[in-house]
A and B are shown apart, each in its own frame.
Chain A
Amino acid sequence: MMYKKGMGEHVFDSFNYLILSLLLVITLYPCYYVLVASVSNPVKIFASNGLLFYPKDFALYTYTEVFKSAPIWNGYKNTIIYVLSGGFISVSLTTTAAYALTRRGLPGKKTIMFLILFTMYFSGGLIPNYLVVKGLGLLDTPFAMIIPNAVTTFNLIITISYFRGLPYELEEAAKIDGANDYTVLFRIMLPLAKPIVAVISLYYMVSIWNGFFHALIYLNKRRLFPLQLILREILIKNDTASITTAQPDQAQAYAENVKYATIVVATVPILCVYPFLQRYFVKGVTIGAVKG
């Protein structure tokens, strides 16, 4: 049963492809710029009139600079640990809670929802949060990177709204067949929720990957520092410290390039996660069409 394409359809399609291609160029160019700038001669990129199409004086200095340092590698290791373990805990807490909070007739559901929402707007601020983390003995442990921010209300809300859309009949049928709540959750609901699990996994992993503030506050031991914190220090090294003690200004001309190389180094690994999860988004299409 193919619908016959009319003239309008073709115009629409071409128009659509045109717009998306344009968007592709607009998005890609600045990213390409970062990449090209990171392997260019630092001084030459200032002569580029803002436009840069190919590396000027190809040089990998910035990358050797970035990768030379041992802390970077250690940072990678830490970040990967935090992302995997933190992502797992976060997704587990969020999906289980979302499942529970979408059960029909659960007493106190409205109140709990309101109280959760409330925390999006009112929080304690830096000092009390620190006191809690300190009181629990989490300071200077990897747990400080995972637990204090395990659940993001926004993610919880979108997960809840997804669960709400799942057919209730499935649960009822399973219950009649004698399944308990855990079976319903793990055997029926979770497989159906793959698309949203993929989305929030990505959200959580990315936010842990990019996060540095908690490390800044809760960690003292440098060997626990995540990648982003190390990179931040590379980024700001040229300004602050040398000025406060007025040291011989030996800083080389690479500051701007190191900035770009840093982005590339910090971004590429997490970018690779998306295509894997994207598969689940597409799979979600077929699973989403399951009938009762």
Chain B
Amino acid sequence: MENIVEMKKVTKRFPGVTALHDISFDIRPGEVHVLLGENGAGKSTLMKILSGEYEPDEGSIVIRGKEFKKLTPKKSSDYGISIIHQELSVINELSIEENIFVGKIPRKRLAGISLIDKSSMHEQTKALLKNIDLNKDPSTMVGDLSISEKQMVEIAKAVAFNADVIVMDEPTSSLSEEEVNKLFAIIRHLKSAGKGIVYISHKLKEIKEIGDRVTVLKDGSYMGTQNVEDVTIDELITLMGGRELKNKYLTSHEGLISDEVLFSVRNLTSKDEIIKDINFELHTGEILGFSGLIGAGRSETMCAIFGASPKKTGEMMLNGNRLIINSPYDALQNGIGFVTENRRETGFFQNFNIKQNISIAKQLVQTRLGGLWGMVDFKDEQLVAETEQTAMNIKCASLNQQITALSGGNQQKVILGKWLAAGVKMIIFDEPTKGIDVGTKAEIYKMMRALANKGIGVIVVSSELPELLSICDRIIVMSEGRITGSFTAAEATEEKLVKAATVAMEAAAIGAG
């Protein structure tokens, strides 16, 4: 089979680092070629060379037999290469059809004046959406769509302009199980239409399911390309240079969970009533998971507990004390920390160095009047940051480094360090390993277990079922703002969790029918 794209011996250097060393990579029509590697392995750099964002220092790119020393974004797209980034680039303020045709709007002439051909745009979009099984009106605002639907729009856009190669950068990182299945169906459809798909992912299980060939990168070097069916997950992990991971976190610890209730929630309803009547208990030594589809109200529950969004009713007890929490400051004062889903938006301060990012919560607790009255304790700041750096193995050149210079995993450790430094008694993790490499994931799971063993409450919200199944002692499932199931580690299976997550919807469907 002839390759659509062939990248030959590509090398890319940045000041002080060789990001890619002599990498060869090809894409055949009608295949899913998985690009695998830990964060920093060079996957994104390689794809940025393909999309024309970066110029390679050595090597060349051959597209349909034509050789290029370098590409530009325009050339790359003209030659049929389309990239769907992890952070989606759709425009929320435009409709689906306008998003798809942005920059290439179909035109018609009326009395010599060039006008937008709305009906043609509408019809073309309708056909495209049908093609990818997205049941929406083309004039729907993209801002009103869910993340997975936005992703579908990007795929439709790639298909609309006859892309031969579609690169998907971690497409499932914000999708629920069901949405992932839907995405895979579309990928299979694209495959049968002869498109070449490059699939970038950390998730080894998905690779087995959807991939045809897999190329592994490690620290910018080429580790080999193999047929997916000829290789086991363990072999891939070894190639990535990662540690053996599977199910190691679930060592027997059931004896450590006591009957003592550390934290409890009674009749929690948010002011906007997106979540209703939430009741649960967290025992000392236990890791409690929250499962459900996106939009099930898991993050909203955590925000209400943490005081980040207003409550209508609800009673919370921590260590036998009744909590009154109306703001994150109250939560912090009462010993609750929250590692949010989006580090960049609600986690760290990009203008602060590592030290300042770690110390902020502790200093807020130490000073008075909500942090208004009190001095910055620079000595304590240094000490606390050093302690957390060692405890958590944060890899950085100096604590005075900007946090933006760190990898996602290390940033996550800094945010966790912020709460631990403040001496919290309970910590909520929302999608704690999103966009984090396999190695750091394992470290974070270990830390969670260590925290639980120390008697600190651990609540984990995650969309990745294997993650919940391997680290949690108990899993609560939510659907449409309510709790629809609760399973111990022993009883929980993926099937049961998925069933509980969709139960309310089925009921609603029956009710409507």
Task: Check if A and B associate.
Answer: no
